[in-house]
Structure 1
Amino acid sequence: MNYLVGDIGNSFIKISILKENFIIKKSYSFDTQKIYNKKDLKKFFKKFLKKSCYSKVLFSSVVPSAFKIIKNYLKKKKICSF
């Protein structure tokens, strides 16, 4: 099972896929301002959501509005985020 973890900062959003033993398998970066554009958001998540199934996702955020957008997007995909 893979885990999906992310950090939402003022400049960038960094998302990593972790293996079972918590070693980073792959990392992705995304400009935080682009998260507000639905087309860019969908394009970004398409990179890694199709590769593996995640039942739960963990995010840390200093930008509550960006976290809310990501949380709602993942909720539509039936993925629980914390």
Structure 2
Amino acid sequence: MYILGDIGNTETKLWIVSKNNKISKKITFLSKSVNNRQLNILFRRNKIQLNKIEKILFCSVVPKTFSKINKFLSKKVKLKCYE
């Protein structure tokens, strides 16, 4: 599975994509309120299996928010987030 993300000024969108390029989940949340606690809750609530993630790709216009998400995912998944 892959995580694809678009971080905008107002909201952040995440897509969980299977290996055969089908979107299995779409998650949208506010960019301003991103923190570790919120990300933990978000991934648990949506039942995303972080151990099955192979690649992470983001498009961002908000470097501060990308930095927070990058730190969170790099600790949980042990993969590099590409921007």
For 1:17, the equivalent position in structure 2 comes to: 16
| Structure 1 unmatched runs, 5+ | none
For 2:28, the equivalent position in structure 1 comes to: 29
For 2:39, the equivalent position in structure 1 comes to: 41
Q: Which 4+ residue blocks in structure 1 deviate beyond 6 angstroms?
A: none
Q: 2:48 & 2:67 partners in 1: Cα distance?
A: 18
Query: Aligned-pair distance for 1:67?
Result: 0.3
Query: Aligned-pair distance for 1:27?
Result: 0.5
Per-residue CA deviations over 1:32-76 (Å, capped at 9, x if unaligned) read 1110x3321221233354366113201110000000011111111
Q: What is the TM-score of this pair, normalised by structure 1? A: 0.82
Aligned AA (1:76): K
Q: 1:54 & 1:66 partners in 2: Cα distance?
A: 21
Q: Does 1:68 align with 2:67?
A: yes
| Structure 2 unmatched runs, 5+ | none
Aligned AA (1:42): N
RMSD: 1.8
Q: 2:25 & 2:64 partners in 1: Cα distance?
A: 25
- Paired residues in the alignment total 80
**Contact 1:55–1:80 (CA under 8 A) maintained in structure 2:** no
